[in-house]
Structure 1
Amino acid sequence: MSTVPIPITPDRWIIQLFSAKSVAEGGIIRRKVEDVERLVGRRRFLTEVNRRWFHVVENAGQFIIFCNQDPVTVLL
């Protein structure tokens, strides 16, 4: 008998993402764009990032979230 994994809800995924140690320390986290879009949707994700006054950039299929309110400067 095999067990079927219980799918994660969008609310639970958001809670887990923003409960990461890097978030608490004001660091950086990244997630695949395709995973975010599949699990919670781009709009919901960006709303949650914005609600926390964080910054996010997208590059090469990844979202990079800066978990602080400091300005982000792209140098080159």
Structure 2
Amino acid sequence: MDQPCRITDPETWIALIFAAKAAKDGVIRRSISWVDREVGRDRFLFEVRRRGFHLLMAGDQFVIVCDPRPVHILF
């Protein structure tokens, strides 16, 4: 199987995602396949963890809670 083609530079992609308004104490949602293609899962996980954010997988989506405070899943 061919490797998916990146659309943007990984550094630019990371900068754009975490500079978004939603990254200021909000929530960011991205397709897992898109993350894998654009920057790679390991790099993405590193960047989320480095910022102290929380990462959830819901179906085919990554959901980043852009707040280092504890997260409680109610149901």
Instruction: Find the counterpart in structure 1 of residue 42 from structure 2.
Output: 43
Equivalence map 1:1-40=2 (5 Å): 7-24=7-24, 26-40=25-39
Give the alignment's TM-score, normalised by structure 2.
Answer: 0.87
Percent identity of the aligned residues? 45
Structure 2 CA distance, aligned partners of 1:30 and 1:38? 15
Give the alignment's TM-score, normalised by structure 1.
Answer: 0.86
1:21-74: per-residue Cα shift (whole Å, max 9, x none)? Answer: 1112x0001000000001111110000000000001001100000001111112
Structure 1 CA distance, aligned partners of 2:47 and 2:36? 13
Structure 2 CA distance, aligned partners of 1:21 and 1:36? 19
Residue segments in structure 2 that go unaligned for 5+ positions in a row: 1-6
- Say yes or no: does 1:53 pair with 2:75: no
Residue segments in structure 1 that go unaligned for 5+ positions in a row: 1-6
Aligned-residue Cα RMSD (Å) equals: 0.8
For these two proteins, the number of residue pairs brought into alignment is: 69
